[in-house]
A and B are shown apart, each in its own frame.
Chain A
Amino acid sequence: GESVGLHLPTLSVQEGDNSIINCAYSNSASDYFIWYKQESGKGPQFIIDIRSNMDKRQGQRVTVLLNKTVKHLSLQIAATQPGDSAVYFCAENRGGGADGLTFGKGTHLIIQP
């Protein structure tokens, strides 16, 4: 079965609003999570990561929250812009960073003008 997954296949938000994309994982031993952005016709692009010893991590306009109790993480994008339109994936390291990633299905973020 799939180790990580996302709750919604599509999320539509107004330009300027904040976006929240959710992800659930099933492996309680997972210790490293990454969010990727994939634009149409391109490979995934790293956004932000978080380790299991953290609850929150902030980047530029993005914040990742990790709730280990319910095995849930979220990606918050502040002041969503048209350039944020893409598919967002959460991924977890299979082991030690060298053994590849396990991806969820993805959420397509649509920005309404």
Chain B
Amino acid sequence: NAGVTQTPKFQVLKTGQSMTLQCAQDMNHEYMSWYRQDPGMGLRLIHYSVGAGITDQGEVPNGYNVSRSTTEDFPLRLLSAAPSQTSVYFCASITTGDPGYTFGSGTRLTVV
């Protein structure tokens, strides 16, 4: 049981480039979400999904797209990277009855 796996762990992008942050969970959790964490801040919700084929926006969705074609995977796409998207990104999942979300170890993204 690997839990929530995020790849890559580190990434440097140039402004305007696009990329996909991968998130996979092997716990058969129906609910998944993406957060960003800026220095000295708490995590802010970007997008979330309540099941395969269903996604919705969180607090800070602009500049990001998501899809959920399978229960296991929930990729986050940056369409045109901007320096303001420099952050640490966390993916999390949960199932009904669980006391709290399980988080991945994060992807540290720098946009130059």
Residues of A whose CB lies within 8 Å of any CB of B are: 9, 34, 36, 41-46, 49, 89, 91, 94, 97-106
Interface size class of B (residues with CB under 8 A): 20 to 34
Given the interface pairs A49-B99, A99-B48, the reply to whether A89 lies near B90 with Cβ below 8 Å is no
Say whether A105 contacts B40, CB under 8 Å. yes
CA distance A36 to B100 in the complex (A): 9
Mark out the residues of chain B between 9 and 24 whose CB falls within 8 Å of any chain A CB in the assembled complex: none
Given the interface pairs A43-B90, A100-B45, the reply to whether A49 lies near B58 with Cβ below 8 Å is no
Which label, helix, strand, loop or mixed, suits the secondary structure of the A interface?
loop
Asked whether B53 is an interface residue with its Cβ less than 8 Å from the other chain, the reply is no
Say whether A101 contacts B45, CB under 8 Å. yes
Chain A residues near B59 (CB-CB < 8 A): 102
Q: Which residue of B lies closest to A6 (CB)?
A: B42
Say whether A89 contacts B42, CB under 8 Å. yes
Choose among B33, B43, B56, B105 the residue that contacts A89 (Cβ–Cβ < 8 A): B43
Say whether A106 contacts B48, CB under 8 Å. no
CA distance A83 to B7 in the complex (A): 27
Nearest Cβ distance between residue A41 and chain B, in whole angstroms? 8
Choose among B35, B56, B104, B105 the residue that contacts A99 (Cβ–Cβ < 8 A): B56
